[in-house]
Structure 1
Amino acid sequence: MKRISIALCLVVAACGGEDDSEPVAWKDMSFEQRYEFMEEVVTPQMAETFAAFDPKFEGMSCPTCHGAGATDGSYAMPSAQIPPLPGTPEAFLEYAMDPEIGRWSTWMYETVVPQMADLLQVARFDPTTETGEFSCGNCHTLQAVEP
């Protein structure tokens, strides 16, 4: 019996056992690691979040956010296939006066942006201090500001 226990321990150790390593931050991931992370973590969690807000997102997949980038393999963001947002805070406030757009904007700001920032392990943009890395512009293109 002792030999079986020792053998099992050796097999578990050889196979790696439990992975106690720290998760790799998004900025430090290779393209392959990012793809796997998006597929296994981000897409399922964000699909659940979006579908809870609007059932039309129940079939959410890579093209939902990445548009043509999901087809060509670049997965470039921000995506031109997501509705663009006004390019200035003033224009955005006016844009968000529409009740439906305001509902989406509030939900995105309070739910999606913090969740994605947490998943990617980056600081959420704070408009009051103008610090942080993740904001609306990471996914949405911003309309050009006319001089």
Structure 2
Amino acid sequence: MPLQIGDPAPSFSLPDQNGSPVALAELRGQRVVIYFYPKDDTPGCTKEACGFRDQWASFEKHGIKVLGISKDPAGSHTKFIDKHQLPFTLLSDPEPCEVATAYESYGMKKFMGRDYIGMMRHTFVVDPEGNLERIYWKVKAEEMAQQILTDLGLS
């Protein structure tokens, strides 16, 4: 059965851009945005990350933690963060992408008319109790950060 609003968010612990583990369970008590994206420093992924960066003051003001997840390694995340001054955490979910799979965000997809297996662009908002509050299966990279703030009544 697909993930639905109100379901417990799948638990995970993944390394951040510095190699330090980040566990979802340790973030209980605050809202968390988890966004899955295909690859560091590609056009759509950069637009999405910069959208969160540009709205960072609002996320921070409301105590919302933002976590970006791709299968890129820590070194790639560090370069991406430095290049675009990203103020939030990026996590590495390497093959076989178990966390992305648990969030139904890894699998067969089409790109430029070809089928391949990869990370999908999906976003989730986890409430302070650890349940899925919002699920975005169709993400417009440039608008995602603002869309979340609007949907949560925070903008």
TM-score (norm 1): 0.32
TM-score (norm 2): 0.30
Decide which structure has the larger Cα Rg and report it.
Answer: 1
More strand by share: 2
The structure, 1 or 2, with the larger RCO (C-alpha pairs under 8 Å, 6+ apart) is: 2
More helix by share: 1
